[in-house]
Chain A
Amino acid sequence: MSRNPFVLRLVALVVLISMILTACAPAATPAAEVPQAEAPAAEATATEEPTPVPPTATAEPAVELTYTYPGSIPNDLASVEAALSEVTLAKFNATIKLNPVDWGAYTDKVNLMVAAGETCDVLFVAPWMNPSYAQLVANGALYPLNDLLETTPELVSSMPAGAFDATKIDGKIYGVPNQQIWSKPFGPAVRSDLAEKYAFDINSITKLEDLETFLAAVKAGETEVSYPAAGGAFTNEFFGWDPIVSQDAGIVVKYDDAGLTVFNAYDTPEFKAHVELMRKWYEAGYFPRDLVPGEDFNNVWKAGKVGSALLEVVKPTLSNEWKNSRGYDVNAKALGPNFTSTGSVTATMNAVCQTSTAPEKALAFLSLLNTDASFYNTLAKGVEGKHWVWTDEAAKIIEPGPEKDSYNPGSDWMFGNTFNAYYSDATSGKLQEETAAINASAVPSVALGFTFNPEPVKNELAQVTAVVTEKGRPLYNGEIDPTTALPEFLQALKDAGIDTIIAEAQAQLNAFAGK
């Protein structure tokens, strides 16, 4: 009773403070409409002066372009920044500031950066990151590039046909996709030494079930290998389903279905058969009973405790990469179809920020990263003679330099066209060619270029995501019996509103195709 006036006063205080805060806060950042208004202006300035500005014309001070991307901060960022800036100063009077943000901090930092309207110029974006590409676009954080791209014809021509279409949201391009493997042919990967020992020819298999002879042989013959397979797995792409809403939501369209029917991936005979297989293998003891902690995954591989992985993106460089990070060569065969989707083409991109002070220069920087091999490799591998040295310059093969530990991001796929990356050994060149061949032969999905807008069904999507993590994952890990758990899972999905999302996705997809 005596507290009431006090609470009232407290409320008054809070209101007062909020007013002060509003007054102090910076003027509202430009609304979503602004880009259209600004774009022609940017175009005008860009056409006025040809892109290469002579270095002597430094009447105005150089623009500093900040590039924000996830990664740990290396000891020697300065020399890489200097080497990049040297090129950009000469070409378009700009310096480069690299701003790697730790993976673990990325979500918070980028969200806050956008919310606070802080200046950024170039930003790494991806649909699987949080905030995702679509969220950033929805929040008006990215600068539409449609018109600006006319200033960088070399960038446009470097990209395969249709690549930019995949990045479009409501007809606008907001990202520059990095060229790499653009299709996700999934299949099993088995340790080469074990395959040899048990005379298992991976190329002889035609479906996942055929792996059983290998798993059984390893289970029977190896005591060191505790887990013949790393665990149960499921991906939409393996069945030729394009996950148009999100990887988890399981709302898909078949990549070659001209009718564009959106359906629930979990409510299919294929999924039922798949989880039954997983259950069978789980009960046979081929999987770890308890999931191996994610943080220890590589360590457990290195210790030789794992015999195979069921569903991996089978790419030419797979064996090399695994040898490096997990200590074993693997034999792999793609069993799923080879198709490209919005998600796979836009898997890693770089975008220009809405808050950029010089969007045309930011795009020019991205253009260099994608078309100028030496520039790209400076960012991806470091400075020549310092972080790496030539083994064979003609064949573009390099080896670690004297200061290799001070700069080694190891993420070529983040910075630009990976086909321009220098090779780490003699075989890499051939593998790059094979990768290019896979990309070339990939069939574009019917939904390529479509990006789902989750806004109208946010609540349902949150619930469905929660249901899939809780009830779906144990199913395809084989941990629970599908005869009872699968119907329960499907019912829970219905209760969570999956049908509403499917209807919304279908409507959006139809509208997209009608255009």
Chain B
Amino acid sequence: MIQLTNAPQKEKANPAARKVSDLSGRLSRVLRDLRKNSAFIFMSLPGILLVLVFSYLPMPGIIIAFKNFKANLGLWDSAWVGFKNFQFLFATDIAWRITINTVFLNTIFIITSIVGSLCLALLLNEVRIKFLARFYQSAVFFPYFISWVIVGLFGYALLNYDNGLLNMTLDKLGLDRIDWYKSPTLWPAILTITNLWKGAGYWSIVYLAAMMGISPEYYEAAELDGASRWKQIIRITLPLITPLIIINFLLSVGRIFFADFGMFYYVTRDSKLLYPTTDVIDTYVFRALRQLGDFGMAGAAGLYQSVVGFLTIMIANWVVKRIDPEKSIF
């Protein structure tokens, strides 16, 4: 729309009248934009205001990461300490381990979760019997309700060495028991499965709703052309929900340095021998600061995650923009 109105104006301007018409043109353009956009401005205002108040007003608190926070002095009067609060994160070789684990596992989670929930949504979209469709939807969605604490307890019932369900089964099959909680190499897979199980239903409902929004006319037309169901999925369904997939992808990438603490803490039962593959930034910070309870150092860790996440999302957005400017989010 904007380009359409702008283009003729530029063409019209002759060198003599350029200055005057430029100024008045810009002014009238701004006015027109405002008037034209007034409805949108008012529509977005309540939301934006809430965000400004609840998210941006406390934002200056980020400086806590650079302060030796003393509760009685408050945020502003506590002493500045520069980057001292960040030291504990980087001083030992643990910094590498936790960063690599966090990024590696989150990358796997993002990919498996998008692929898994998309497949699930496509399957759900094919069900023609209403009653069954509803049943499946509920079933896949339910794990989302169960908190990580409970998931962790199940995991223990399933995996513990002495009388876990899996080891009992291995026994019956005449196989050797596995020391699950002491075998770090198995855990990226276990965590991926757990993550998929708990979250795939949630995401597939998002995709499913998007598929529901696709006009049936597209499919009817395709059917008349004799396109197979598979072709319809590739040609119609997937392209039409791509924007949603990209948004999901971009936002997940932004959180790639944040780990789901509940999952890493409860599902691994905080087993120390699994740390080589399961220790992530959030669990390390929790462990290191458990006794110090230092707001400044915790803030420093959070800021580190945010800044790197911010850079990642900017890069990812830039890449998307290069491929298809329409689909970038900002």
Contacts and interface: CB of A to CB of B under 8 A. Distances in A.
- Judged by CB atoms under 8 Å, the answer to whether A and B touch is yes
Interface of A: 3, 13-15, 17-18, 20-22, 25, 28-32, 107, 111, 114-115, 117, 130-132, 135, 138-141, 226, 246, 248-249, 288-291, 293, 295-296, 354, 454, 458-459, 461-463, 465-466, 469-471, 473-474, 479-480, 495-497
B275 A18 contact: no
Contacts of A473: 272
B271 A290 contact: yes
A130 B289 CA distance: 10
B70 A138 contact: yes
Contacts of A461: 291-292
A360 B58 CA distance: 36
A140 B287 contact: no
Contacts of A31: 72-73
Which of A13, A32, A131, A461 gathers the greatest number of chain B CB atoms within 10 Å?
Answer: A461
Nearest to A477: B272
B72 A466 contact: no
Contacts of B190: none
A117 B57 contact: no
Interface in B70-109: 70-74, 76-77, 84, 87-88, 91-94
Centre residue among A15, A114, A130, A293 by max chain B CB count within 10 A: A293
Given A17-B56, A135-B293, A458-B297, 6 more contacts: A28-B73, A130-B290, A130-B291, A288-B160, A461-B292, A496-B91
A332 to B, nearest CB: 26
B288 A117 contact: no
B179 interface: yes
B272 A469 contact: yes
B74 A459 contact: no
Contact of B156 (A20, A248, A293, A466): A293
Given A17-B60, A459-B87, A140 B162 contact: no
B255 interface: no
B251 interface: no
Contacts of B287: 465-466, 469-470
Given A115-B71, A140-B72, A454-B292, A466 B284 contact: yes
B162 to A, nearest CB: 6
A465 B291 contact: yes
A132 B71 CA distance: 13
Contact of B272 (A107, A459, A471): A471
Contacts of A454: 292
Nearest to B296: A458
A115 B58 CA distance: 14
Interface in B51-72: 52, 56-60, 70-72
Question: Which among A32, A463, A473 has the greatest number of chain B C-beta atoms within 10 A?
Answer: A463
Contacts of A115: 71, 74, 295
B76 A22 contact: yes
Contact of B92 (A463, A479, A480): A463
Contacts of A20: 57
A459 B91 contact: yes
Contact of A140 (B52, B71, B284, B289): B71
Nearest to A285: B162
A198 B72 CA distance: 59
Given A288-B162, A463-B88, A111 B56 contact: no
Contacts of B94: 463, 466
B71 A479 contact: no
A13 B53 CA distance: 12
A291 B160 CA distance: 9
B182 interface: yes
Which 5 interchain pairs have the tightest Cβ spacing?
A18-B60, A140-B72, A289-B161, A139-B71, A462-B288
Contacts of A496: 91-92
A131 B293 contact: yes
A290 B162 contact: yes
7 contacts: A29-B72, A29-B73, A107-B293, A246-B291, A466-B284, A473-B272, A480-B273
Contacts of A466: 94, 284, 287-288
A29 to B, nearest CB: 5
Given A21-B60, A463-B288, A289 B179 contact: yes
B60 A141 contact: no
A132 B179 CA distance: 37
Contacts of A28: 73-74, 76-77
B223 interface: no
Contact of B72 (A14, A22, A32): A32
Nearest to A291: B269
Contact of A479 (B73, B160, B163, B182): B182
Nearest to A6: B330
Nearest to A15: B60
Contact of B275 (A14, A249, A470): A470
A318 to B, nearest CB: 27
A14 B56 CA distance: 7
B59 A14 contact: yes
B291 A248 contact: yes
Given A17-B59, A454-B292, A139 B70 contact: yes
A21 B57 contact: yes
Nearest to B275: A470
B56 A470 contact: no
A15 to B, nearest CB: 8
Contacts of B163: 226
Interface string B157-179: 00111110000000000000001
A466 B297 CA distance: 14
A114 B72 contact: yes
B153 interface: yes
Contacts of B161: 288-290
Nearest to B160: A290
B153 A293 contact: yes
Contacts of A470: 272, 275, 279, 287
Interface in B107-122: none
Nearest to A3: B330
B33 interface: no
B294 interface: yes
A462 B272 contact: no
Contacts of B159: 290
Given A31-B72, A290-B269, A14 B60 contact: yes
A290 B181 contact: yes
Listed residue (B71, B73, B153) with the most chain A CB atoms within 10 angstroms of its CB: B71
Contacts of B73: 28-29, 31-32, 140
Given A114-B71, A290-B269, A471-B272, A463 B91 contact: yes
A291 B162 CA distance: 11
Contacts of B153: 293, 295-296
Contacts of A114: 71-72
A207 B44 CA distance: 73
A32 B52 CA distance: 34
B187 to A, nearest CB: 14
Contact of B88 (A14, A29, A141, A459): A459
B161 to A, nearest CB: 4
A112 to B, nearest CB: 9
Contacts of A291: 269, 271
Contacts of A463: 88, 91-92, 94, 288
A465 B94 CA distance: 13
A115 B67 CA distance: 14
Contacts of A130: 290-291, 293
Contacts of A290: 156, 159-162, 180-181, 269, 271
B78 to A, nearest CB: 10
